[in-house]
Amino acid sequence: MKIAVIGSGYVGLVAAACLCELGHEVTCVDNDREKLQLLEQGAVPIHEEFLPELIAHHHRKQLRFSGNLAEAVRTSAAVFIAVGTPGKENGEADLSYVESVTREISRAINGYKVIITKSTVPVYTNQWIGQVLLLNGAQPGSFDVVSNPEFLREGKAVTDFLYPDRIVIGTNRDRPIRVMDEIYAPLTSGSYYKHPDAIPAPDHFNGTARVIFTSAASAEIIKHAANAFLAMKISFINAVANVCEAVEADIEDVCRGIGSDTRIGARFLNAGIGYGGSCFPKDVAAFRWISHNYGYEFSLLNEVERINHECRTRFIQKVRSALWTLKGKQLGVLGVAYKCGTDDIRESPALAIIQELLQEGAQVKLYDPAAMERARKVLGARVTYAQDAYEAATGADGLLVLTDWEEFRQLDLKILRTKLHYPIVVDGRNIFSPDEMAEEGLIYYSVGRLPVNARRMVASSMGRAS
């Protein structure tokens, strides 16, 4: 099928590449000339596993990039809208990009088209898209609008698209269902998974791609509700971590205990400095606004947000506890991306913590495996940039772990100890074992676990001596 994808951000670019992988011919449209030029040259503007390989394989074959939206719509049977829906100060989603694209689509329709919203949008957006299409000249019966929300984790977006937990298709009409069935047939039939060059399957994949058909309104709610629930799960375990610290329990033990319950599950039960990124903060705020706008005060989401922001405050307090004062302190910082596997620093708790440390007069030497260039654009010359984790630690009064990159888990603690000025590590992601840190003579603070401090180290050494 010939498909147009409007927008070349995280969702649009991944969707375009993966739809090509399924055998479709895709035109990815954007109005950013600089980005289009980079894409035409084969550059990939985001850090995403498998995405460079897919784009390199399909570029100038099944995949093309264009700034001509009208042409892409005229030559396509299906049009995915994957433009940004940034949040306003009150939490409401800004749908101006969606509306602008919709007006352009209406003027280009030259036959029956299925218009598919991939962007995260509030309930009734599909209904409004239909009205805007008609008001701007599209003929009744020349289109259908379908909600097909994305459930892509940054860093695992390609795998999530090709090996989905579920494909949600929201429409109140039968005709577009046939088009959507054809688009996703290689996944629902399993034919893609038999291909020898298919992207490797994740461990948890059960061999089938499940499709859930709903109304458009239900599909729009599903996306917001899913992200709000996952954000709630993160905030819940961080609140439990606070209790663990107060009563000297271990959050890792608690996570194992409750995560083994199949009704709860272990995923997203990782205590730390809170959630961030382009989805959870925006979608929680948007879902709260939607609920309020339609007469329900979803106060639980207020608490989810409060706990999430409190995680950063409590982490700064840990750093103060470890170093006494922050002004003039040299801090090594590992990680600025909001999570491992991506270079995205939007709403990153790591970035917010770094900015707070700078405001308090600390000096920061930063290293991140993927997000350094994005960090430079925001932090500029206010921080020093290291070539690797060991350089970030060299001469530091304390080392902070803010992103859970696997590279950091593999660090040689003996070498790390020799690099630090003071043997202090404050771990916001719980990537190290307290016992291993104590064995290497490191003073170690983490989240929801007892600190390995100087007194414990001295007591331990005295016990061994006796």
CA 385/CA 254 separation, integer angstroms: 37
Half-sphere exposure in the Cβ direction for 151 (13 Å, CA) = 22
pLDDT digits (tens, 9 = 90+) for 118-162: 999 999 999 999 999 999 999 999 999 999 999 999 999 999 999
The single residue of 28, 244, 279, 311 carrying the catalytic annotation is: 279
For residue 461, the model assigns a pLDDT of 46
Sign of the dihedral defined by the CA atoms of residues 289, 292, 298, 302, in that order: positive
For residue 204, the model assigns a pLDDT of 81
Q: Are 279 and 227 in contact (CB under 8 A)?
A: yes
CA of 348: how far to CAs of 33, 236, 345, 354, 371, in Å? 27, 19, 5, 10, 11
Q: What is the average pLDDT value for the chain, to the nearest integer?
A: 95
Q: For residues 453 and 456, which has the higher predicted lDDT (pLDDT)?
A: 453
Query: Residue 118, Cα to own-chain centre: how many angstroms?
Result: 16
Residue 351 is encoded by which pair of tokens? Answer: 């970035």
**458: confidence class by pLDDT, cuts 50, 70, 90:** very low
pLDDT digits (tens, 9 = 90+) for 281-304: 999 999 999 999 999 999 999 999
Please report the DSSP string for 411-460 in residue order: --HHHHHHH-SS-EEEESS--S-HHHHHHTT-EEE-SSS--B-HHHHHHH
Q: Are 338 and 349 in contact (CB under 8 A)?
A: yes
| Region of residue 132 (phi > 0: left; psi between -120 and 50: alpha; otherwise: beta) | alpha
For residue 203, the model assigns a pLDDT of 86
Q: Confirm whether pTM is higher than 0.95.
A: no
**pLDDT surpasses 60 at 454:** no
For residue 208, the model assigns a pLDDT of 83
Q: Which domains does the chain have, with CATH numbers?
A: 2-214 (3.40.50.720), 235-308 (3.40.50.720), 309-465 (3.40.50.720)
Q: What is the mean pLDDT of residues 228-249?
A: 97
For residue 456, the model assigns a pLDDT of 53
pLDDT digits (tens, 9 = 90+) for 261-278: 999 999 999 999 999 999
For residue 172, the model assigns a pLDDT of 86
pLDDT digits (tens, 9 = 90+) for 17-33: 999 999 999 999 999 99
Give the number of other Cβ atoms within 10 Å of residue 373's Cβ.
11
Q: What is the mean pLDDT of residues 201-214?
A: 90
Active site residue 279: yes
Q: Which helix (H) or strand (E) holds 391?
A: helix 389-393
User: What contacts 349, CB < 8 A, 6 or more positions away?
Assistant: 273, 274, 275, 276, 308, 311, 312, 338, 402, 428
Please report the DSSP string for 238-257 in residue order: HHHHHHHHHHT--HHHHHHH
